[in-house]
Structures are given as C-alpha cells and as structure tokens.
Structure 1
Amino acid sequence: MNSIKLKSRAKINLSIDVLGKRQDGYHLVEMIMQTIDLYDLIEISEREDNQIIIKSTSNEIPLDCNNLVYKAADLIRNTFDINKGVEIYIKKNIPVAAGMAGGSSNAAAILVGLNKIWNLNLSDQKLEEIGLKLGADVPFCINGGAVLASGIGEELTPIKGLSKDVCILVCKPDLFVSTKEIYECIDSKHIEKRPNNQFLIDCLKNENTRQLAENMFNVLEEVTVDKHPVIQQIEDIMTRNKALGAMMSGSGPTVFGLYENREDALKCKSILEKQFKQTFVVACEEKGVEVNG
C-alpha cells in the first residue's frame, strides 16, 4: 500500500493591504507572506475502497467533507478520474482558525502527496492552479518561502525572506475569528494607513529587521482588535519585552513578534504562556510543504 509523510507549514503576514473588491466578493489584496517552521505532520495512505477517511490529534477540525483536506483529495481524484480512496492522518501543531493558513497548508500537502502517490507528475504551477480552486492561500502554501502576493492572494512574486537569525514569537489567544466577517467590515476606499510594501521588501533584502519590524502593517488589525482587544494586549506584552515589532497575522487572532535573539523571545514566551497556551518560538522557513521520508 502506498503512503507518504509530509510537513505542512504555517505562514505569517508581514503586511496586508486591501485594495478593492471583485464582483464575486473576493477582496483584492497586496501582502507579504512568510513561511515559518511551525508545521503539522500529515500521513496519507492509499485505500482500495473509494472512501476518504480523516483522522487527527485535534478535536477542533472537522473530520468529514467540510475539511479542506477532504476537498483537496476529492478534487484531485475527480480531476484525474482516480478510483481509489485515501486515509489522511493529521498531527496538528498549527493553531486552528488562527490567521496562519493551517487549513490551506494541510490542503496543499494533500495535493503534493497525492501527486506523488498517484504518479500524476504535475508541475508546481499545475498544483497551484488546482490549489486556487480550494482557497486563495493554498497556492502559496505549496512552495512557501517569502512572497509578495497580489490579486486575491494567488499572484505570487518571490522575494527575499526574513533572516534565519530572526526569532519569531507566535501567540494565539483562545478565540475564534471569522476571516469572512473581518473582510466584510473593510471598506478599501476609507483605509487611512497602509503598508509600504516596496519599503518592506527593501528592508528584507538588506536584512534591516528593525526597520521592517517598525513598519509592518496589517489593515485588518483595527477591525479585529476592535472586536477582540486581547490582540492589542499581546502585542503590548511583546513590545514591552524586547520585540522589535509585533503584529497580527492574517485576519487574526494570532500575534507574532520579531526578536533579535532567542533568549529574549523565550523570556517573553514564558510570560505569555501563563495565559495563552498556544505560544511558540520559531524561525522562518524557505520551504512550504516538505515530503518527509
């Protein structure tokens, strides 16, 4: 029986700008995304029957056709007329509904894994096209790294990412944020402050982490913080404890801070994890989905 193990990585946003809205309701964005070395472990095994079975260590995710991994497996199967089933096991480490593309990353891993198991020989570009049918973040999650994303998030321009020396402290408060709801509150014509993405890209290129951290900006943050003030509280704790800068990722509620050294990041982690158990110190990562033996 064919099986494969994969790492499925999370992302953070170093910026988010909303430029408008398409007729179909999707928002036009321009944002910088960076993969981090926080990952779920996924194992895919082929089944001779036609079922898609999902198992997980997490009780926070659906284990049926409502899970994006189910939709990914079903899409590949139907697109290429494959008459087999799969069992998918997800060891969940990425916080759920966190603004870190955990679900999109898992779906990306299914596309990469089934491409190998079923010898489909699809190019990355073809996988990204299929991934876009599942969600705007899925194409990015396949290869990861650092990109400037535009359009609805599917137009990806690779850029130099964060330096490996930068420590990233990630903290997810125990609350649920609806991405759809946050975006619906945004009127792109009345955004007063926006990120300067070209300046941030230059900071990354020159490894000027301090200036990057001081100028990161997410236009969704004001909306989410208004509903959930704890996000601002976490940012304040990080900046009081030597973070070069702190910001919300995606539509929230996860907050991350950039640190010059691991010791400072770990000290702040020990403060935050008394209140927020989903707190991690990680580095950036150049890969997205990784086939892991």
Structure 2
Amino acid sequence: MSRFPAAQGWSAWPAPAKLNLFLQIVGRRADGYHQLQTVFRLLDWGDSVFLRPRMDGVIARVGEGAAGVAEADDLLVRAAKILKNESKCVQGVDIGIEKRIPMGGGFGGGSSDAATVLVALNRLWGLGFDFERLAELGLRLGADVPVFVHGRNAWAEGVGERLTAIDLPSAWYLLASPGVHAATAGLFQAPDLTRNAAPAKIADFLSGTALGNAFEPVLRRREPAVEALFEALARIGTPRLTGSGSGCFVEFATRESAEAALAALPVGVNAWLARGADRSPLLDAVESFTTGASPSG
C-alpha cells in the first residue's frame, strides 16, 4: 500500500531518470562555470513524486525524502518555494517521494524531482506558467532541471540549459551503480579533467564520432569501484559513464538483448534495465490530469 494514497488527497507524478549519451567540456565562462556539450536521453524509469495541495500556504516534506538531505536543502522543497514566491500563490503543498534513482549516480534524480514539482504544482495550483518560465525557475536549482521540465531528449550546450530537441532511436539500457557517491564539485576541479575539447556538432554525435564523457577517465582513476564496474560491464558490451556521477550504462537495441546481458553479469553487480523514452512520462501525466484522469507515478 502506498504511503501517499489518493484517498488522502495525494496525486502521484513521475520523475524520470536521464542518461548523458555524450558529454564534453569546451570552455569556461568568466563566472567560473564550465561550458558543456551533452546529449540528454530520458528514460521510462525513475522516482515518483507525491503532492497534496493545502490551503494554509505551508510547504512541508512528508517522510524522510532523499537519504541524508535536510528538508531546507531538499530540491523538492526548494522548487515548491521558488514557484510559490514567483507566482505569489497563497496555497501550500505536502510533498512526498519514493526514491529509486541512486544519489550521486549521474542519473539526474534530484534535478528530475525538482522539475516534476515545478511542472505538477503549476498544474495543481492553476498557475498557468509556460514551460519556458518553469525552465527558467528550474535553472536556479540546477543546470539539468530545464531538460526535465521540457521533457524531450535534447542536445544541450552552455551549462546544459541551451536545449535543442533531438530524435533518438529506440533503445534499452542496462544501468549499473557501484554504490559510490561522486561529488560533482570535486570532479569539476580535478586537475586532470579536460576542459578545452574541440566543439562538436549534433551530426558528430549522430555519426558516432562524439560519444565520450570527459569525467569518465577522471572518475575511473579516482574510484576503484567505478573501474571495477567498467571491467564487469565490458564483458557484456561497451560501458559508458553518465553525467558527472558514478553510474554507468550499456546500450542495447532490444529488450531481449538487454535482458540477456543482465543475466550474464557477475553476481553482486547492482544493475537493472530501463527503456529510452521519446518524451518524458511527466508530460503524459500532465496531459492526463488536464483531461480529468488521475496522474500516476
């Protein structure tokens, strides 16, 4: 039984994970932020966010939220507060979550959770903000939030906020986590991180000539658990790192081939399967809500 039942006023909203199919750093801005190029691939698997509007204006987290994250620092709570402040909305909300996306894995869990709060609360509170406005608010919370707000696979530049929708072929992914929390800030400061890669074009990615991840060699040298995971995954395909986290993935054309690879992995490897999505299931949930159906996570 759900901890957040619909009978008690809760609605459930999906917060899908993502993969970075390619990631490189092409420079650094005057403010110190790195300029990236990457491809975001949304997945049909992720967290579930639960929301229950309240009329007293209070924003409260129900349950523990993400492990070790204080309520004041929780991106779910911060997203709701930003939206409330910008809209001058008098309503509040109770927020709950069922976490599936591992923290620090590079699968975008925190950013996706925040985006789901922005998009779903915009609907529940009846604010009428468009996706561009919501993405601008989301950028205050993290560079990956806008892609989850827009809900489309995308080529991204800048700090990750300049998005160009991109069509990607159907694919299944074997995802794996070594159980290591990669500290993004520390990786960006690593002296052996390549920060001046030659800019690529979308055509370079589509042709397969741009598929690397700038953080992969750095993290494999720093974390024995990540290196060991790469070695295990190399037995069933070509492993790649996602984002600046420790999570890895192997791409397959069909579910059957992905399932066979999962079965062939050594015992003890923390791995699971997910399908690539053409668009975010969050968009489907919002559309279902507008037609009167109940969204589901």
Decide: shared fold, TM above 0.5. Answer: yes
1:38: how far off? 1.4
Pairwise CA distance, 1:185: 1.2
Given the superposition, is the C-alpha separation of residues 186 and 20 from structure 1 closer, same or farther in structure 2, using an over 3 Å criterion? Answer: farther
Residue 244 (structure 2) pairs with residue 251 (structure 1): yes
- What is the letter of the counterpart of residue 286 of structure 1? D
Structure 1 gap ranges (5+): 204-211
Q: Any idea what the Cα deviations from partners look like across 1:218-262, whole Å, max 9, x if unmatched? A: 011111111113323323322322x2x220001120000012333
| Of 211, 216, 231, the match for 2:226 | 231
CA displacement, residues 24-46 of structure 1 (integer Å, 9 cap, x when unaligned): 22111111111011111111111
**For 2:154, what is the secondary structure of its paired residue?**
strand
Alignment of 1:30-179 (within 5 A): 30-56=37-63, 60-161=67-168, 163-164=169-170, 166-179=171-184
Indicate how the Cα distance of structure 1 residues 200 and 57 shifts in structure 2: closer, same or farther if over 3 A, else same: farther
Query: Aligned AA for 1:202?
Result: L
Q: Which among 16, 19, 31 is matched to residue 24 of structure 1?
A: 31
1:261 counterpart residue number: 254
Amino acid at match of 1:153: G
Q: The residue matched to 2:114 in structure 1 has which SS?
A: helix
Give the distance between the partners of 2:23 and 2:219, measured in 1 at CA: 13
* TM-score, reference length from structure 1: 0.86
Deviation at 1:190, TM superposition (A): 6.3
In structure 2, the CA distance between the partners of 1:15 and 1:59, relative to structure 1 (3 Å rule), is closer
Q: Structure 2: which amino acid aligns with 1:218?
A: N
The corresponding residue for 1:222 is 217
Q: Is the 1:32–1:197 contact (alpha carbons within 8 Å) kept by the matching residues of 2?
A: no
**Distance in 1 of aligned mates of 2:235 and 2:199:** 23
What one-letter code is carried by the residue in structure 2 that aligns with 1:198?
I
Give the Å deviation of 1:179.
0.6
SS at structure 1 position matched to 2:138:
helix
Identity %: 27
- The answer to whether the 8 A contact 2:24-2:36 is kept is yes
Residue number in structure 1 paired with 2:206: 202
Q: For 1:176 and 1:69, locate their aligned partners in 2 and report how far apart those are by CA, in whole Å.
A: 20
Once the two structures are TM-superposed, the CA of residue 198 in structure 1 deviates from its matched residue by: 3.2
Q: Structure 1 residues 232 and 143 mapped into 2: Cα distance closer, same or farther (>3 Å)?
A: same
Distance 1:78 1:187 in 2: 41
Q: What residue is the counterpart of 2:291 in the other structure? A: none
Q: Is the 8 A contact 2:221 2:227 kept in 1?
A: no
Instruction: Report how many aligned residue pairs link the two structures.
Output: 278
SS at match of 2:135: helix
Partner Cα separation in structure 1 for residue 29 and residue 233 of structure 2 = 36
Q: Which runs of 5+ in 2 are unaligned?
A: 1-7, 286-294
Which amino acid letter does the alignment assign opposite residue 233 of structure 1? A
TM-score (norm 2): 0.85
Partner SS, residue 65 of structure 1: helix
1:90 to 1:30, Cα distance in 2 relative to 1, 3 A = same
RMSD, matched Cα: 2.4
Deviation per residue, 1:45-67 (Å, 9 max, x gap):
11233332223576525250111
More divergent stretch after superposition (103-112 vs 52-61):
52-61
Matches of 2:26 and 2:132, distance apart in 1: 25
The residue type paired with residue 247 of structure 2 is: T
3-state SS in 2 of match to 1:180 = helix
Please report how far the alpha carbon of residue 272 of structure 1 lies from its aligned counterpart in structure 2 after TM superposition.
Answer: 4.3
The letter for the 2-side match of 1:177 is A
Deviation of 1:5 after TM superposition, in Å, equals 2.1
1:230–1:267 CA distance, 2 compared to 1 (3 A):
farther
2:48 and 2:117 map into 1 onto residues whose CA distance is: 11
Counterpart residue number, 2:290:
none
Matched residues in 2 for 1:70 and 1:3: separation? 16
Contact 2:17 2:107 in 1 (8 A): yes
Distance 1:11 1:56 in 2: 25
